[in-house]
Amino acid sequence: MRHSGSLGPIALLLGLELALCRGQATSQYCGPQGQAERLHFTRLGKGRWLDLQARPPGSLDPLYRMVRGFLDMVQLNPFPEGLVRVALNEPSSVRTSDVVRYEAGYVVCAVIAGLFLLIVPTVGFCFCCCRCRRRCGGRVKVEHKSMACERGSLMTFLLLITLLLLTGVICAFITNQKTHDEVGPGVRAVPGVLNSLQGLVSDVPQELKAVAEQFSIPQNRVLEELDAVGVNLGSTIHTQLRGTVYPMLATLQRLGQDLQVSLDHLQLLNSSTGYLQTQQEPLVSSLQDHRHKLLSLLQDGQCQGCASALSHIQLLELGANFSQVPSVKSVLQKLKSVPEANFSNMVQKDNSTFNTLPVLTAMETANIVQELKEEVAQIPEEVRTLSEGFPGSEAADRWRQALAQAENSSRPYLRMIQRYERYRWIAGYVLSSVILLVVICNLLGLSLGLWGISAREDSSHTEAKGEAGAQFLMAGVGLSFLFSGPFIILIFATFLLGGNVQTLVCRSWENQELYQFADTPGNLPPSMNLSHLLGLKKDISIPSAYQQCKEGAALWKVLQLNGSYDPEKHLDINKYTAKLREQVESFNIDMKDLDLLNEAAKRDLEAFRSSGIEKIDYPSFLTQIQKPVVKVDILKLVKELEKLSQAQTESALGQQLKQEAQALQSLFQEKILPRQTHVVTLNQSVHALSASASNLQLVVSETLVNVSSLKTELPIRAHWILKNESECFLNREMAYFIQYVNWAREMVTEHIATCQPLSGALDNGRVILCDLIANPWNAFWFCLAWCTFLLIPSIIFAIKTTKHFRPIRKRLSFWEGLDFCPDYPRLPTARG
């Protein structure tokens, strides 16, 4: 009975939870488990894509800008559309005057190069002959006072020119090597680019077939999750309902126990009351007999000391009158068939049934799950025909043949380019090394010459150092004259090729004049008609097609295919998913085996509720229980009589008192003591029933209402949970298919059936030719030309400086030679 006080709040909480469950039936929550995991698909179309080339910023960028600025000044004419059109269509009709007019800047540069090639070697030859006759580049014959200033100026200018030569030759070495490093990979990339573009259209169906095959990834994932869907749904239902079912089962378990306890107490109350009422009349009669006999004995005049016992004998009568308590037989009559049910077994059965809910759900949904798996195992017709629906193109074969022919025919030229590039690299390396030798000769000559001049005041000094410096300077002059011809030839050849590539090709390619030229009818010969060769739509120009391809346009939006193609039509799997949705929504669960309260238990509770146990007059029981069975303490009275019997002088009277004491002792043992035991039992039952009857009746009534409501609500709530979880499961499975559709759409439109590789190839070609090759190529000849034209002042100043390094026949003192040179401070001499 210790739980009966807590059953009321539990029942109220259950009723409140049921009300909340009704409110939840309109909401949906899936939680983290309802989210689909990210599927990993194999990326397709990698072979169709080219890595976009880009020249990273570098320290040579200012040099590249300087060279492009120089070429823009050399070639001021715009793109020669007419001249190129005639050259492509009728090469024999090209007029030299038109070429010269367009290449006017290059013609001027050619004239300058020709004069350089004629004059510098001729002057060098003449100077060599003059030197052989010892008439040029000799020595200073007479020292004069301004010679120190002249010598210092010549040395300074020669040093500055040498440093400029050193800077130029370092840049020449760097750009020569950079050009060589870029030409090889650029040339080798051409066949790969042409080969990758051959299958731009014809390889699409094969790629689309690979896309369709990857439908198995979400398909297998859904099939895998279908294997456990029944158990998962049942587990979710069990998890969400156990907060309601377990407390209700616990309430029924405790209620059954309390019901049994109350019934036991009621039966004890009835039996004890019956016993007390039955034995009450004999006890009253016995007490009256003993009281009458004792009064007669104690009132005898011969009885000594008996007056004090008379007051106790007067109380020898019945105390508690149990004939005045109400009968509980009517209540017991209503509960005669209780308990009809075994609450413990009932709760255990319901608990077992509820705990096997996941397995039961899996069994009930097994047939639908099998049908679902059969549906999922089928590939949708739309996806299966993804590749079959892609139309071909008549231009695809022309394109493939043209690119294959271009690839085959380009290989000999590409090998030739690589071979000649190696020759150019070697020549550039050798000539740059010659210029470096000239720089070294100048620096050594200046160093030795300056050392020789500073030592002339020493009487023991020899002119060997100054003579060696002069020899080094003349060696640099000789190298400059000797290699001036190869310098200007290599410079002009690379300048003419690299400059025209930059001004004629790269500049017009960058501003898309080439695309506009190719798009204009008649500019290209029929065999080079790109619009026809590529199979472009009639309403799309080449610049527009390039721009659309760069933005990722699909092939069917740019090319003229043999029919229309809509990827959305083939990626529409609504019919496929509609069947799955229909099957999932047919999931159902039967909870009829979860009875909670069977009919027998319900009858027990209803009988207890209508028994009227709470209406029993428990106070009247307590009133009698609080009274003693006999008003006097029998045992004390027996002891008092025994003392009186011993105190009597009259032996007959003493013997009679002793017999009465023994008779009272027997009466106590036989009738009064059992009666007291029954009163104790009655007291316990009355207190227990009076304390719990009213509350237990309330709990029984509320439990009956809540069980009835719960039995109605459980199937509704279980159905709602099943519907919610089925919807979450369906959404998760649909998310897998949506991932596939989104991935397939991206693959088809952005990686497979896209013309972006075409624009990427064109952009890569421009970057490789113009940024990676032409820039360092033009920078190389620019640096080499810089050094070559600086050789002229280097020759002049070297020849003039050489005279001052050789011995002077008639010299002034060192400090006298400084009198007219303001740049050198006058120091006091030993004579001054």
Weakest-pLDDT range from 6-10, 258-262, 577-581, 613-617: 6-10
Rg (CA), the chain: 61
Least confident piece of the model among 309-323, 324-338, 385-399: 385-399
Q: What is the pLDDT of residues 196-240, one digit of tens each?
A: 777 677 777 788 888 888 888 888 988 888 888 888 888 888 888
Dihedral angle at the C-alpha atoms of 140, 143, 146, 148, nearest 10 degrees? 70
Token duo for residue 565:
């193609």
Alpha helices of 459-566 — where are they, by DSSP H? 464-500, 507-510, 513-519, 530-534, 542-550, 555-558
CA distances from 333 to 329, 682, 830 (A): 6, 19, 156
> Rounded to whole angstroms, how far apart are CA atoms 738 and 750?
17
* Residues paired with 554 in a beta bridge: 754
Say which range, 41-45, 53-57, 140-144, 680-684, has the weakest mean pLDDT.
140-144
- Rounded alpha-carbon distances, angstroms, from residue 457 to 419, 452, 814, 825: 59, 10, 7, 17
What pLDDT band is residue 47 in, cutting at 50, 70 and 90? Answer: low
Is 287's pLDDT higher than 60? Answer: yes
Q: Report, as an integer, the average pLDDT of 395-417.
A: 79
Question: Which residues, including other chains, have CB under 8 Å from residue 163's CB and lie 6 or more apart?
Answer: none
pLDDT at 455: 66
DSSP 582-606: HHHHT-----TT--SS-HHHHHHHH
pTM: 0.65
Whole-Å CA distances, 14 to 21, 81, 245, 371, 710? 10, 91, 9, 39, 9
Could you tell me the two tokens for 233? Answer: 């749904």
Q: Give the separation between CA 402 and CA 422, rounded to whole angstroms.
A: 30
pLDDT digits 0-9 by tens, 5-32: 444 444 443 444 444 344 444 445 676 6
**339 pLDDT above the threshold of 80:** no
Share of the chain above pLDDT 70, in %: 87
Residue carrying structure tokens 């410096």: 469
Nearest residue to 254 (alpha-carbon basis) of 611, 615, 11 = 11
Alpha carbon distance 187, 494 (integer Å):
18
- Single-letter amino acid, residue 266: L
Q: What token pair was written down for 810? A: 């008639």
Give 146's pLDDT tier (boundaries 50, 70, 90): low
For helices 147-198 and 775-805, what crossing angle results, to 10°? 160
Mean pLDDT of 575-582: 80
**How many residues are recorded in the chain?**
832
What pLDDT score does 110 carry?
92
Distance CA 259, CA 240 (A): 30
What angle, 0 to 180 degrees and rounded to 10, lies between the N-to-C axes of helices 673-746 and 574-585? 170
The yes-or-no verdict on residue 518 having pLDDT over 80 is yes
Of 99-108, 472-481, 492-501, 817-826, which range is least confident? 817-826
- Nearest residue to 79 via CA among 525, 449, 523: 523
Identify the sign of the CA torsion 469, 474, 477, 478. Answer: negative
CA-CA distance, 476 to 439, in Å (whole number)?
8
**How many other C-beta atoms lie within 10 A of the C-beta of residue 517?**
18
Strand partners, 318: 630
> Cβ(695)–Cβ(8) under 8 Å?
yes
Instruction: Give the per-residue pLDDT at 780.
Output: 93
Q: Kindly state the DSSP code that residue 627 receives in the 8-state scheme.
A: S
Least confident segment among 75-79, 190-194, 325-329, 389-393: 389-393
Q: Tokens 């019997």 — which residue?
A: 645
810 bridge partner residues: 142
Q: Can you tell me the distance from the alpha carbon of 251 to that of 715, in angstroms, rounded to the nearest whole number?
A: 20
Higher-confidence residue of 341 and 60: namely 60
CA atoms of 308 and 198, how far apart (whole Å): 140
Q: What is the pLDDT of residue 52?
A: 65
Side chain identity, residue 693:
A
Report the pLDDT value the prediction gives residue 144, as an integer from 0 to 100. 57
What per-residue confidence (pLDDT) applies to 275?
87
Alpha helices (H) along 806-829: none
- Rounded to a whole number of angstroms, the distance between the first and last alpha carbons of the chain is 137
Is residue 525 pLDDT above 50, yes or no?
Answer: yes
Kindly state the average pLDDT of the residues 687-706.
84
Which of 67-76, 296-305, 595-604, 642-651 has the highest average model confidence (pLDDT)?
Answer: 67-76
Q: How confident is the model at residue 304 (pLDDT cuts 50, 70, 90)?
A: confident
CB neighbour list of residue 256: distance below 8 Å, 6 or more residues apart: 339, 341, 343, 344, 346, 347, 601
pLDDT of residue 777: 93
pLDDT at 10: 40
Whether 161 and 794 have beta carbons less than 8 Å apart is answered as yes
Q: Say if residues 274 and 336 touch (Cβ distance below 8 Å).
A: no
Residue 705: the pLDDT is: 87
> Residue type at 338?
V
d(CA 427, CA 504): 26
Reported confidence tier of residue 174, pLDDT bands at 50, 70, 90? very high
Mean pLDDT score of the chain, rounded to an integer? Answer: 80
Token representation of residue 679: 């009163």
Range from 524-533, 554-563, 601-610 that averages highest in pLDDT: 601-610
* Structure confidence at residue 170 (pLDDT): 94
Of the pLDDT bands very low, low, confident and very high (cuts 50, 70, 90), residue 111 is very high
C-alpha 384 chain-centroid distance: 31
User: 630 pairs with which residues across the strands?
Assistant: 318
Confidence at residue 563, expressed as pLDDT on a 0 to 100 scale: 61
Residue 516, judged by CB atoms within 10 A of its CB (0-12, 13-18, 19+), counts as middle
Peptide bond into 9 cis (omega under 30): no
Which phi and psi angles does 136 have, rounded to 5°?
-130, 145
pLDDT at 145: 61
Q: Alpha-carbon dihedral of residues 349, 352, 356, 361, nearest 10 degrees?
A: 30
Which candidate, 374, 808, 810, places its Cα nearest to that of 583? 374
- CA dist 356 → 230, 238, 281, 343, 350 (Å): 12, 9, 62, 20, 10
Q: What is the largest CA-CA distance in the chain?
A: 197
Which residue's structure tokens are 């009198």? 819
Give residue 824's pLDDT band: very low, low, confident or very high (50, 70, 90).
very low
Helix, strand, coil percent values for the chain (each to nearest 5): 75, 0, 25
Residue 264 CA to residue 267 CA, distance in Å, equals: 5
Tokens of 211: 């896309």
Q: Which of 86-100, 374-388, 777-791 has the highest mean pLDDT?
A: 777-791
**What does the pLDDT look like over 419-434, one tens digit per residue?**
898 999 999 999 999 9
Question: Do 1 and 258 form a contact (C-beta atoms < 8 A)?
Answer: yes
